[in-house]
Chain A
């Protein structure tokens, strides 16, 4: 009997996250309920420590050379950057949850354990280079997120969001699985490297790739597979929305990139054109719909759909520069989007049973109430709209430049036009904050929990620094 030898050091950050999730659960079991106040936040502390440790391990691991675990999981530079993006988003989302969760739930350990499992799923997805592994990782993150979306059990919207997300997500998993089956049928291999080596052409590969695009498109909330996203993003607890809008996108994009690379036999023009149209449709639809929203959170949800469209531009470009731009944009997006959601969560008012959604005018007059918060929010909005010298601008610049370089000029133009549309609804919030009077129902004194303040400060700093130091960062990624 010969058992396989596995080099677990390749997945050390993932293992740390998983073990932390288990520790959170076990601590809940062993630590008596009636214990001190410290118990309340113990799961959050533990989870944050796990995420930070995982991040440090990713940073300190030196160059990830692309060694694989049995050809199933790979530790390469791409995975490393993804790890950093996801862990960053997770840590920021966790800081938001810290003060937000106690408003609506007592099931803290369960929340943080599921949260960490979702993180682990994303990390594994980013490392998957085999179809079964890819699918299972995707399901880990999806199932954890379905439940987290519905975690706000006191309000109906949460349940509705979770149900919609679950049903459509399960449906999309089916598409993905059919795609994987067709790949297997065409090549007899499940490892992406083997599939690429087979160079099998023909109908099965094409159909498989199309189904993969649909399946991953659902996870990315790409139009026309975005139907679940506004409801899910609005109904989910805001910290979860912030985290998943970045983390899921990042992981699914990396998976999409790897799959597209493996299906090398399908002519590039075919899938790139398909993706380009999806990208165009997504950003246009997201931006147009965002114009008409009356809820801040829902507006941000549509904006995040539009951003999925921008991100696809980098994949369409198909070059290394294109995907480097995607990675850069993901970092920038993590900062500015989570920052925006963080402030949206601060503007929400905890009601008796449910947390009230922040309306589009909730931020009105914020400058008079909390000037620094208003400045930060203005920065996030401007960055999301893509105004220099903030991170979002350079992200879009690199993305569109890569598209133009590889001959997708019209897509880049469409992207620029879309940014102009989006500027309207982003700037409307900014104008409201500085010019308008606060609405009558607004709190006079906005409570500012320390953890959320820290999150806002970090994201604002990130948005600014990524903008000012864009060139060295981007060169770092390209290397």
Chain B
């Protein structure tokens, strides 16, 4: 198991690095896909099968496809991407990333906050447990999320329609 985890972690890291280092946005998107799939397998290993499958459906099946769609429509070969950036932008990126690393290490070095003790409950990732959490305990935000999606859909349609000036009288 540790061996499998190491291999997956390596794949995920390679994917993440690929996102950053590829000159070609399509390769970046594919590296992202690799990263997502590696994480999906890790979820399955942690006996959160549902989460793993949903990760594939949502991220691999929809989001990265969307990215590819956009990249392909605006022209997949954008070699200029990433070049010609100002030095201070790079420096800011490096500093922020370093700060983030520090924050993560800081969080890991401390004892786990009390609130997270309950997270790793056995069978917490099963479909049954998730179903209860979503449809019984959190039914209110779940239903609100459907309203949120309706709003976003409506907004998307409004913005995507061709603008038609009203007739002047």
Contact = CB atoms under 8 A, between A and B. Distances in A.
Contacts of A133: 140-141, 144
Contacts of B3: none
Interface in A369-417: none
Contacts of B114: 186-188, 198, 200
Contacts of A104: 165-166
A185 B166 contact: no
A30 interface: no
Contacts of B96: none
Nearest to B164: A106
A107 interface: yes
Interface residues of A, number: 51
Interface in B125-169: 135-141, 144-145, 147-148, 150-152, 154-155, 157-159, 161, 163-166, 168
B154 A113 contact: yes
Given A110-B158, A188-B115, A124 B144 contact: yes
Nearest to B150: A117
Contact of A130 (B113, B141, B152, B164): B141
A69 B148 CA distance: 19
Interface stretch (A148-156, A267-275, A453-461): A148-156
B117 interface: yes
Contacts of A186: 113-115
Contact of A110 (B116, B145, B154): B154
Nearest to A203: B110
B118 to A, nearest CB: 5
A114 interface: yes
Interface stretch (A139-147, A217-225, A292-300, A336-344): A139-147
11 contacts: A4-B136, A107-B158, A114-B151, A130-B141, A136-B141, A136-B148, A140-B148, A185-B113, A185-B115, A200-B113, A353-B165
Interface of A: 2-4, 6, 18, 25, 69-70, 72-73, 102-107, 110, 113-114, 117, 120-121, 124, 130, 132-133, 136-137, 139-140, 143-144, 146-147, 150-151, 153-154, 184-189, 198, 200, 202-204, 352-353
In order of increasing CB-CB distance, the 3 nearest A-B pairs are: A188-B115, A147-B155, A72-B140
Given A4-B136, A200-B114, 19 more contacts: A2-B136, A3-B135, A70-B140, A106-B164, A110-B158, A117-B151, A124-B144, A132-B141, A133-B140, A137-B144, A140-B144, A143-B148, A144-B151, A147-B159, A154-B165, A185-B115, A187-B115, A188-B117, A188-B119
